[in-house]
Amino acid sequence: MLGIIDRFEDEFAIIELENKKIINIEKSKIPTEAIVGDVLNIGEYITINLVETESRRKRIERLSEDLWK
**Three-state SS sequence of 16-45:** EECCCCEEEEEHHHCCCCCCCCCEEEECCC
- Give 69's pLDDT tier (boundaries 50, 70, 90): low
Where do the structural domains in the chain lie, given as residue ranges? Answer: 2-67
pLDDT tens per residue, range 4-44? 999 999 999 999 999 999 999 999 999 999 999 999 999 99
Q: Bin 13: left if φ > 0, else alpha if -120 < ψ < 50, else beta.
A: beta
CATH of domain 2-67: 2.40.50
Predicted pLDDT at 28: 97
Could you tell me the pTM of the whole model?
0.88
- Give 68's pLDDT tier (boundaries 50, 70, 90): confident
Q: Could you tell me the end-to-end alpha-carbon distance of the chain, in angstroms, rounded to an integer?
A: 36
Q: Which of 56, 69, 64 minimizes the C-alpha distance to 3?
A: 56
Predicted pLDDT at 63: 86
